[in-house]
Amino acid sequence: LTGTSREQRAFQYLLAHAIPGDPHHILQTFDQWCYHCEHLSCVGPDKGRIVERVLLERAPLRVLELGTYCGYGTVLLAQGLPPGARLYTIEGDPRHAAVAEKVIRLAGFSEQTVELIVGPSEEVIPRLREKHGLMNANLVFMDHWKRCYLRDLRLLESHQLLAEGATILADNVLFPGAPHFLQYAKTCGKYHCKVHRASLEY
């Protein structure tokens, strides 16, 4: 009725209640909105702890996120980066990207730390090295369309964008599910696989 999207309404709530420049409080405020007002398909706090643990273990200097959405996962990743690290995040929907850009900057991250790239992942990935300066990624977080997981993993491989020993963290591979991606990751011989059991967001 208001003519604004759920994502825009969530951002208005952040503006009213979150502490600017405090990534942790930004995420907490997002969680409050999603628990009590409207559901958004963000990573959420339960799965967020898995992401935080992986960041702590790996300390990646170059991170690629596929599927920015509202910027929740981006802020989660950015706050766990080691000093000097850079995060590249790709969002296909310009409306979501517009909200995410504001969320990322509200959390206090500059373009030097977090670069938001708007466009379909299959078009952006082949241009990451030449246009955006990403030589290869130590960590890739997949949280976009599940049917694109396998295609985009193969694109990353074919364009040699995965650093040696890189970690691929993919959300929702069991539900709604990315069976072809999962089968490939388990059987191609290039990866050691681990499934993290978690509840759905919110």
Strand order in the sheet with 62-66: 114-118, 86-91, 62-66, 137-142, 162-170
**Peptide bond just before 176 cis, omega within 30 deg:** yes
Is residue 62 pLDDT above 80, yes or no? yes
Separation between Cα atoms, residue 183 and residue 202, nearest integer Å: 28
What's the average model confidence in pLDDT over 47-66?
A: 97
Q: In the beta sheet, which residues pair with residue 169? A: 141
For residue 128, the model assigns a pLDDT of 98
What's the average model confidence in pLDDT over 72-91?
A: 98
Mean pLDDT (the chain) is 96
pTM: 0.96
Neighbouring C-beta atoms of residue 191, cutoff 10 Å: 15
Q: Catalogue the active-site residues.
A: 143, 146, 171-172, 201
Closest by CA position to 63, among listed 32, 85, 41, 90? 85
Neighbouring C-beta atoms of residue 45, cutoff 10 Å: 17
Which CATH superfamily groups domain 4-186?
Vaccinia Virus protein VP39 (3.40.50.150)
List the chain domain ranges.
4-186
